[in-house]
């Protein structure tokens, strides 16, 4: 039987993720949104593209959580995106209400689902979704590290004039400006970038990656990035549905790993049919450890603000 993926929030990220899943034919999709009619319109449009993609999946739009019943995976991409001069943290309270409402509904309608949280500030929203649903932490995670990695891979590929496919990146910590890249584990087909680029160049590329979201917000003016975020969601969905056990950086619950307790933050994990099947721990240098701790502290500050 085909898996069922429900996407809460049929905006730019949600609808684009739905498109990618439909196009690949890997799951039936329900697009949910509070906006009247809109998710049905987008779902109909995507469904009408399926014959052209040779895809037989079902794509349904809805304003009713009952339609998301018994989903295998639920993606939470509902809420408000950033506007110019707005940080992800400015979104905190508005999006917390949205994520709490979505989590309460999912807990009732899809009690066995795996939840992928995209809504920003993502690490905090993942922790909120976990608390609100009371699901096992293996089944609730946030999308962020894959996007940060993809951005860094892109900039490195341009700098080195190689395919981004050959670039592997590990990032830790909070999503976006708080990310902690690990240049010594960032390689081109196994060759650390520290062997290929000057320290200054690496720093510049990391700086651009950190501000990757804001760079796009400032260009778009009316919304935030969605093609790459949706592609990152798609990679997670695929790794879970096909039990690929990809090692991907995701925001997951740490309970002592990396010396951090009771916090959702980005680390490399193995993603399979059970959700987060393993947290992969790498030994950090003193400097990396201190950057990671700083990043965790800023995520924790927001968690405290919400009294999660
Ligand atoms: N329940 C369901 N959907 C909701 C709710 C809610 N309570 N509140 C808002 N929405 C819907 C909106 O109607 C809108 O269609 O969420 C959608 C958000 O879509 P966009 O505004 O296009 O935002 P998008 O770019 O998709 O980003 C969504 O992901 O990357 C993050 O920072 C981003 O938090 C933002 C989220």
pLDDT at 216: 96
DSSP state of 70: T
Q: Are residues 187 and 294 in the same domain?
A: yes
Query: How is 84-122 classified by DSSP, letter by letter?
Result: TT--GGGGHHHHHHHHHHHHHHHHHH-TT-EEEE-SSSH
Q: Which of 98, 121, 142 is the last residue of a domain?
A: 142
* Cis status, amide bond into 100, omega within 30 of 0: no
Query: How is 173-187 classified by DSSP, letter by letter?
Result: ESSGGGEEE-GGG-E
- Contact by Cβ (8 Å): 271, 277: yes
Q: Which atom of ligand 1 is nearest to the CA of 13?
A: 26
Q: Are residues 75 and 223 in the same domain?
A: no
pLDDT at 102: 98
Question: What is the overall mean pLDDT for the chain?
Answer: 96
Which tens digits make up the pLDDT trace of 83-132? 777 776 778 999 999 999 999 999 999 999 999 999 999 999 999 999 99
And the tokens for 162?
């190689």
Mutation test of ligand 1: which of 6, 10, 11, 176 has the most ligand atoms closer than 8 Å to its C-beta?
11
Mutation test of ligand 1: which of 6, 8, 9, 42 has the most ligand atoms closer than 8 Å to its C-beta?
9
The angle at the Cα of 87, spanning 297 to 153, to the nearest 5 degrees, equals 80
Q: Are residues 131 and 34 in the same domain?
A: yes
Please identify which residue in the block is written with the tokens 């968690």.
303
Q: Which atom of ligand 1 is nearest to the CA of 101?
A: 7
Which tens digits make up the pLDDT trace of 153-210? 999 999 999 999 999 999 999 998 889 999 999 999 999 999 999 999 999 999 999 9
What would the mean pLDDT of 12-31 be, rounded to a whole number?
98
Q: Which residues of 230-248 are buried (b: 16+ CB within 10 A; e: fewer)?
A: bebbbbbbbbbbeeeebeb
Which tens digits make up the pLDDT trace of 154-169? 999 999 999 999 999 9
pLDDT at 88: 64
Q: Are residues 138 and 150 in the same domain?
A: no
Q: Which of 94, 113, 142 is the last residue of a domain?
A: 142
The partner residues of 31 in beta bridges, in order of sequence, read: 7, 61
Residue 9 pLDDT level (bands cut at 50, 70, 90): very high
Q: Are residues 129 and 150 in the same domain?
A: no
- Predicted confidence (pLDDT) at residue 11 exceeds the cutoff of 80: yes
Check which CATH number belongs to the domain holding 177 and give it: 3.90.110.10
pLDDT at 290: 95
Q: Are residues 161 and 199 in the same domain?
A: yes
Gap between the Cα atoms of 64 and 260, Å rounded = 38
pLDDT at 177: 87
Q: Is residue 175 annotated as a catalytic residue, yes or no?
A: yes
β-pairing, 246-255 vs 261-272, is antiparallel
CA of 119 to the centre of ligand 1 (A): 7
CA of 182 to the centre of ligand 1 (A): 31
Backbone angles phi, psi at 255, to 5 degrees: -130, 60
Gap between the Cα atoms of 235 and 87, Å rounded = 26
pLDDT at 85: 77
Number of domains in the chain: 2
Q: Are residues 216 and 294 in the same domain?
A: yes
DSSP state of 28: E
Q: Which of 103, 124, 142 is the last residue of a domain?
A: 142
Gap between the Cα atoms of 227 and 222, Å rounded = 15
What would the mean pLDDT of 35-50 be, rounded to a whole number?
98
Pocket of ligand 1 (CB under 6 A): 8-14, 33-35, 77-79, 81-82, 91, 95, 98, 101-102, 118-120, 223-224, 226, 229
- Predicted confidence (pLDDT) at residue 40 exceeds the cutoff of 80: yes
What does the chain come to in residues?
308
- Predicted confidence (pLDDT) at residue 228 exceeds the cutoff of 80: yes
What would the mean pLDDT of 24-40 be, rounded to a whole number?
98
Q: Which of 24-33, 40-49, 127-136, 220-229 has the lowest mean pLDDT?
A: 220-229
Q: Are residues 54 and 112 in the same domain?
A: yes
What would the mean pLDDT of 234-263 be, rounded to a whole number?
98
Structural domain harbouring 91 = 3-142
Gap between the Cα atoms of 234 and 249, Å rounded = 14
And the tokens for 9?
């929030």
Angle, nearest 10°, between helix axes 145-160 and 199-210?
140
Share of the chain above pLDDT 70, in %: 99
Residue 141 has, within 13 A of its CA and on its CB side, a CA count of 32
């Amino acid at each position: 039987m085909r898996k069922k993926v429900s996407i809460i929030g049929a905006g730019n990220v949600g609808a684009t993720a739905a498109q990618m899943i439909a196009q690949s034919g890997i799951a039936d999709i329900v697009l949910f949104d509070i906006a009247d009619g809109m998710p049905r319109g987008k779902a109909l449009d995507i469904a009408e593209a399926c014959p052209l993609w040779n895809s037989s999946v079902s794509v349904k739009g809805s304003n009713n959580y009952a339609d998301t019943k018994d989903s295998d995976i639920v993606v939470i991409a509902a809420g408000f995106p950033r506007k110019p001069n707005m940080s992800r943290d400015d979104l905190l309270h508005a999006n917390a209400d949205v994520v709490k409402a979505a989590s309460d509904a999912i807990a009732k309608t899809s009690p066995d689902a795996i939840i992928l949280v995209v809504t920003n500030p993502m690490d905090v929203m993942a922790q909120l979704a976990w608390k609100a649903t009371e699901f096992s932490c293996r089944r609730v995670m946030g999308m962020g590290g894959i996007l940060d990695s993809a951005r860094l891979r892109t900039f490195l590929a341009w700098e080195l004039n190689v395919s981004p496919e050959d670039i592997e990146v590990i990032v830790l910590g909070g999503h976006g400006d708080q990310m902690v890249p690990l240049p010594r584990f960032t390689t081109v087909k196994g060759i650390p970038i520290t062997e290929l680029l000057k320290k200054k160049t690496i720093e510049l590329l990391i700086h651009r990656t950190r501000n990757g979201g804001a760079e796009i917000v400032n260009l778009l003016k009316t919304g935030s990035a969605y093609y790459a975020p949706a592609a990152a969601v798609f990679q997670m969905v695929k790794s879970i549905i096909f039990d690929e056990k990809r090692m991907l950086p995701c925001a997951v619950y740490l309970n002592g790993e990396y010396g951090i307790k009771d916090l959702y933050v980005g680390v490399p994990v193995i993603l399979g049919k059970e959700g987060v099947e393993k947290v992969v721990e790498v030994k950090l240098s003193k400097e990396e450890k201190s950057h990671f701790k700083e990043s965790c502290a800023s995520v924790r500050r927001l968690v405290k603000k919400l009294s999660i």
